[in-house]
Amino acid sequence: MDSFFVGCGYVGRQVACRERDDGGAIAAIVRTRVSAAALIKEGIGAEAADLDRQDPCAVPAAGRVLYWFTPPQPDGDQDLRLRRLIHSLGAHDSLPTRVVLISTTGVYGDCRGEWVTEDRALAPQTDRAQRRVDAEDTLGHWCEALQIPLVVLRVPGIYGPGKLPLKRLQSGQPVLVPQICPWSNRVHVEDLVSACFAAARIDTPRPVYNISDGSPSTMTDFFFQVADAAGLPRPPVIDADAAPSQLSAAMRSYLAESKRIDNSLMRQHLNVTVCYPDLASGLAQMVWD
């Protein structure tokens, strides 16, 4: 299956390599020439494009599955990067056969620790999540008007080789005491790659799938388990009163939301077999230097 990638970083590159190994022709646009050159060495046709400044010309998406991995720009309440690209696709009559959009479970906002299915109303609490909602809505209207199937994957925290908070642990930054830490969710990168691959191929896709390993825990438990697996000291713990002065604004925003993501539709309809159903199984297969 031929495919085109908008953004081809940690996850996108692994999906692209799997598509390449499956025999498809792969093309991508990325932010820098260095990234493009690295992808070309792996057999992935790539060009550098600045979605913050220009409409990419001659984007080769026609007749391909379009994977959208690029996050929105870091400000505002609209995803201007996505808007620029779909304008370019229409202007150059380069329409994909399907779009797979990587979104975030952050669009649900704080759910007070409840289990969350795809039917949950969206209630973004941050500008970052609002931009993701805008991306889903904008691309949804565009695809509907052109009768292009759209599959949205709402993804929580991603972990895997090369994507673990080892530097944070080594620096001794604190975490909340376990008793007050809210629920959070994650997925191993290999399982996310499998979900992306399936979303591009399923005959009758649902519009949205929650992606997760199905084993919610807490951010503190995540840091504790990674530290134990890597042979590092567990981070110090602080209470809620100390959090505003000792935790970053980004970390505080994540800790302001509590939800448990239901991945039933991913398993039962998208037919993704979760290879790493919890953090312990995912960490166990990693090689530690």
Q: How many domains does the chain have?
A: 2
> Does 146 lie in the same domain as 112?
yes
**69 in any annotated domain:** yes
The gap from C-alpha 12 to its chain's centroid, in whole angstroms, comes to 9
> Does 219 lie in the same domain as 93?
no
Q: Does residue 288 register a pLDDT over 80?
A: no
pLDDT of residue 57: 60
Mean pLDDT lowest for which of 5-9, 56-60, 117-121, 221-225? 56-60
Residue with the bigger pLDDT between 48 and 54: it is 48
Q: What is the pLDDT of residues 87-102, one digit of tens each?
A: 889 888 889 999 999 9
3-state secondary structure of 77: coil
**81 in any annotated domain:** yes
**Band of the pLDDT at 113, cuts 50, 70, 90?**
very high
**28 in any annotated domain:** yes
pLDDT of residue 248: 87
pLDDT of residue 134: 98
Q: What is the pLDDT of residues 27-36, one digit of tens each?
A: 999 999 999 9
**266 in any annotated domain:** no
> Does 14 lie in the same domain as 143?
yes
Tell the residue number behind the tokens 């925290």, with chain if given: 157
> Does 87 lie in the same domain as 8?
yes
> Does 23 lie in the same domain as 147?
yes
The gap from C-alpha 62 to its chain's centroid, in whole angstroms, comes to 24
| Contact residues for 148 (Cβ-Cβ < 8 A; gap 6+) | 95, 96, 97, 98, 99, 142
3-state secondary structure of 182: coil
> Does 180 lie in the same domain as 118?
no
> Does 194 lie in the same domain as 81?
yes
> Does 53 lie in the same domain as 139?
yes
> Does 246 lie in the same domain as 120?
no
**269 in any annotated domain:** no
pLDDT of residue 178: 92
Mean pLDDT lowest for which of 161-170, 249-258, 275-284? 249-258
**Band of the pLDDT at 253, cuts 50, 70, 90?**
confident
pLDDT of residue 13: 97
pLDDT of residue 273: 97
Reference 281, options 233, 199, 184, 214; nearest CA is: 214
**123 in any annotated domain:** yes
Structure-token pair, residue 6: 């908008």
pLDDT of residue 275: 98
Backbone dihedral angles phi then psi of residue 79, each to the nearest 5 degrees: -90, 90
pLDDT of residue 93: 86
Number of residues that this document lists for the chain: 289
Q: How many CB atoms lie within 10 A of CB 218?
A: 19
pLDDT of residue 289: 60
> Does 241 lie in the same domain as 125?
no
pLDDT of residue 91: 83
Q: What is the pLDDT of residues 188-210, one digit of tens each?
A: 999 999 999 999 999 999 999 99
Structure-token pair, residue 268: 């039962």
> Does 193 lie in the same domain as 181?
no
> Does 235 lie in the same domain as 146?
no
**75 in any annotated domain:** yes
What would the mean pLDDT of 172-188 be, rounded to a whole number? Answer: 95
**268 in any annotated domain:** no
What would the mean pLDDT of 4-12 be, rounded to a whole number? Answer: 96
Q: CA-to-CA distance for 235 and 184, rounded, in angstroms?
A: 18
Residue 256: give the domain boundaries: 164-185+214-260+275-284
Q: What is the pLDDT of residues 117-172, one digit of tens each?
A: 999 999 999 999 999 999 999 999 999 999 999 999 999 999 999 999 999 999 99
Supply the CATH number for residue 94's domain: 3.40.50.720
